[in-house]
């Protein structure tokens, strides 16, 4: 897809019109759900969170290529991935409102909870892939991370293991060009992140991360390769973070308005809308329909999240170990007594 949404001849994926429209609906839902979270945060109804604005194409496009049994290790800015995989929005809001219940992943979804220390989920993704291969399970393991993560030891250790053990992994780096304030050229002297794959002995691909179809096609290819024993792939999705790093960040301290405006013109959602329109798959009625559906879904999720009670003291204790220890029981009783106004 060209920047203005025109099709690039011969390179379009074989997706049905209904799938193409579904992709767009997922991107629209992601954006609306993200903006809703931002509004809630500004109203004091949501804690600090990492907005996904601008990442709709790379997240939705790659996640759309997954099969239901494939495993996903998201990073902390991955709303589009969640929306695409059918992770309940209620859980997403609940987690960022400060309730661990939100990271209770439904048992039919092979998604890992968010790993906040940057890049540290990558070894888990490799270990899980090694286990799947040992169990003769054909699923593939996808791990998402940002450009900052590529400077971490765990990125290098994990991709090295993946290369050595030829694991069924797809590593997808959302290079949005900033790790909080640090631009990607201060993160690495390499020209691209994709080329780092060469050091680990496998293929690295640079993708236009604002092109949902390119992300879909490249991810699908890497998944097929991994599934058929071809080993891991690193995909660098070159994109831009249109929002702040988190709601506690002020991106104007480290990047110019003109730069942001320049990237806002390359809005991935608008670009795909133009594509669909050129194919005769988009009109106002369709847009209004999916906007309305997204809004209803989001409002329901927010309501459900906000009406979820805060955790009870025992909820904070019982998942420390499989069984409570005597000391934990004592400490819990002490807290419960205090709350009941019981014995000192």
Residues forming the site for other proteins (CB under 8 A): 100-101, 103-105, 107, 112-113, 115-117, 120, 122-132, 134-135, 153-154, 157-158, 160-161, 164-165, 319-322, 325-328
Q: CB-wise, 18 or 107, nearer to other proteins? A: 107
| Whether 254 is catalytic | yes
Q: How far is CA 159 from CA 88, 129, 264, in A?
A: 30, 12, 32
Q: CB-wise, 128 or 290, nearer to other proteins? A: 128
Task: Name the residue with tokens 């699908």.
Answer: 220
CA 78 vs. chain centroid, Å, equals 2
Name the catalytic one among 245, 266, 271, 273: 245
Task: Name the residue with tokens 């709601």.
Answer: 247
Burial label, 283 (beta-carbon count in 10 A; 0-12, 13-18, 19+): exposed
The closest alpha carbon to 45, from 244, 243, 247, belongs to 247
Q: Please list the residues that pair with 203 across neighbouring strands.
A: 233
Q: CB-wise, 3 or 100, nearer to other proteins? A: 100
Task: Name the residue with tokens 């209904």.
Answer: 18
Q: How far is the CB of 201 from other proteins (least distance, A)?
A: 12
Contact, 276 vs 282, CB < 8 A? yes
Distance CA 130, CA 125 (A): 9
Q: CB-wise, 103 or 260, nearer to other proteins? A: 103
Q: How far is CA 333 from CA 47, 210, 316, 337, in A?
A: 29, 53, 13, 6
| Whether 245 is catalytic | yes
Q: CB-wise, 128 or 294, nearer to other proteins? A: 128
| Whether 321 is catalytic | no
Catalytic residues: 241, 245, 254
């Amino acid at each position: 897809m060209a920047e203005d949404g025109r099709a690039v001849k011969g390179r379009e994926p074989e997706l049905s019109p209904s799938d193409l429209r579904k992709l767009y609906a997922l991107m629209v839902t992601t954006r609306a759900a993200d903006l809703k979270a931002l509004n809630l945060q500004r109203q004091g109804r949501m804690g600090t969170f990492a907005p996904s604005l601008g990442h709709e194409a790379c997240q939705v496009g790659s996640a759309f290529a997954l099969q239901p049994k494939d495993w996903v290790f998201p990073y902390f800015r991955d709303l589009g991935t969640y929306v695409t995989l059918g992770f309940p929005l209620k859980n997403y809001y609940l987690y960022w409102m400060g309730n661990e219940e939100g990271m209770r992943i439904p048992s039919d979804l092979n998604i890992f909870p968010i790993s906040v220390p940057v890049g540290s989920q990558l070894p888990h993704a490799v270990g899980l892939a090694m286990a799947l291969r040992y169990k003769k399970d054909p699923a593939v393991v996808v791990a998402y991370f940002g450009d900052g993560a590529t400077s971490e030891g765990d990125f290098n250790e994990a991709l090295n293991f993946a290369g050595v053990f030829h694991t069924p992994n797809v590593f997808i780096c959302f290079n949005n060009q900033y790790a909080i304030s640090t631009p990607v050229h201060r993160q690495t002297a390499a020209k691209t992140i994709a080329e780092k794959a060469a050091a680990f002995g496998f293929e690295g691909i640079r993708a236009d991360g604002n092109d949902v179809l390119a992300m879909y096609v490249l991810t699908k290819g890497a998944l097929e390769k991994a599934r058929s024993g071809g080993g891991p792939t690193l995909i660098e999705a070159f994109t831009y973070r249109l929002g702040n790093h988190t709601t506690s960040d002020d991106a104007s301290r480290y990047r110019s308005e003109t730069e942001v405006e320049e990237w806002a013109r390359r809005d991935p959602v608008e670009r795909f809308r133009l594509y669909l329109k050129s194919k005769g798959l988009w009109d106002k009625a369709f847009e209004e329909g999916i906007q309305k559906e997204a809004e209803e879904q989001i409002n329901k999720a927010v309501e459900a999240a906000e009406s979820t009670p805060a955790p009870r003291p025992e909820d904070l204790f019982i998942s420390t170990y499989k069984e409570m220890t005597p000391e934990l029981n004592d400490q819990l009783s002490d807290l419960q007594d205090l709350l009941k106004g019981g014995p000192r």
